[in-house]
Amino acid sequence: MTEEERQSLEAIAMDIWDPLYSCSKKHVPHVKIVFDLFHVVSGFGKVIDKVRNAEYQKRRKRTRTSSRVQNIFVKNKRNIRRKNTGNISNSSCHSMKQ
């Protein structure tokens, strides 16, 4: 591409790819860069999936822990086995009223 052709460019449409972006900025810094919609939406989708999965894992961990504790408290104290109590002390289990 000649220098005159490069100077006549107004905008470039491209994929979101760092080497392509850097090269374009280096050789034609005056042009506007337009990213194609497919790749923009795809990028947002990936970010949203990561956040959604992280939130799901946090909630799942909290729910799983509270469910274990709740299951212990609703059991009859005679049916509680030592392995089911985990970090809960026996004194707290024995002090529960039926």
More confident residue, 98 or 18: 18
Pair 22, 55 in one domain: no
Query: Is the predicted pLDDT of residue 86 greater than 80, yes or no?
Result: no
Pair 57, 23 in one domain: no
Backbone angles phi, psi at 26, to 5 degrees: -75, -45
**Residue 16: band (very low, low, confident or very high) from pLDDT cuts 50, 70, 90:** confident
Pair 69, 23 in one domain: no
Distance from C-alpha of 7 to C-alpha of 63, rounded to nearest angstrom: 60
Structural domain boundaries, residue 58 = 48-98
Distance from C-alpha of 41 to C-alpha of 36, rounded to nearest angstrom: 9
Query: Is the predicted pLDDT of residue 7 greater than 50, yes or no?
Result: yes
pLDDT at residue 94, as a whole number: 46
* Total domains, the chain: 2
Pair 54, 89 in one domain: yes
Distance from C-alpha of 83 to C-alpha of 48, rounded to nearest angstrom: 39
pTM beyond 0.95: no
In a domain, 42, yes or no: no
